[in-house]
Amino acid sequence: MNKFILFSSIFVLTILLSFSVNSVYAHPHPGQLMINSHTHEPETDLIPLNGVIGLERSTVFFHAPESNTLPWAFVEGNISNHVEGYPVIIQIFRNNDAVHFAQTNVEADGDYEYKFRVLNSDNGVTTKIFNGDYIVKIFKVVYLNHDMI
């Protein structure tokens, strides 16, 4: 199982992908991803909703190699300043077209996880649900001021 590990000052986001070795791996510098010999910088921005909370949007690269034989991938992380009662929204795009939307709850300690199929096998017929390059957008509702937590 390969890992993307992204660090920011607000949260640690991990996307774990169950794909072939050497296809996807963590870059040694926090905040950067090395995928198929290309460096990818995750992007995070904050959209204030009012004077207290905001919408934190993180955008990361996701690659499902042709050689993948394992069925699952997942997005997980921890939000240190999450606002209770708001889920994490996950959107996956390919060539600017939406291909998958999901939401998952945030635990009291800020942890969240969303597991999804990338490969399906039914009666001996294998279908690749995800294959190639994707952009993943992750939306979290957070406090604008850490003192509010």
Q: What is the mean pLDDT of each run of 10 residues along the chain (149 residues)?
A: 27 31 32 54 89 94 87 89 95 95 96 92 88 93 79
Position 149 scores a pLDDT of 54
CB distance 88 to 138 below 8 Å: yes
Q: What is the pLDDT of residue 42?
A: 78
**pLDDT for res 103:** 96
Q: How confident is the model at residue 70, as a pLDDT?
A: 85
Cα 104 from Cα 82, distance rounded (Å): 13
Residue 14: the pLDDT is 31
Determine if the pTM surpasses 0.85.
no
**Rounded to the nearest 5°, which phi and psi values hold at 148?**
-75, -15
> What pLDDT was estimated at residue 62?
87
Long-range contacts of 127-131 (CB under 8 A, 24+ apart): 128/64, 128/68, 130/62, 130/64, 130/73, 130/92, 130/99, 131/64, 131/66, 131/68
Contact 61, 40 (CB under 8 A): yes
Angstrom CA distances, 97 to 92, 103, 115, stand at: 9, 18, 21
Domain ranges of the chain: 2-148
CATH class label, 2-148: mainly beta
Q: Show the CA angle centred on residue 32, arms to residues 10 and 40, nearest 5°.
A: 120
What pLDDT score does 121 carry? 85
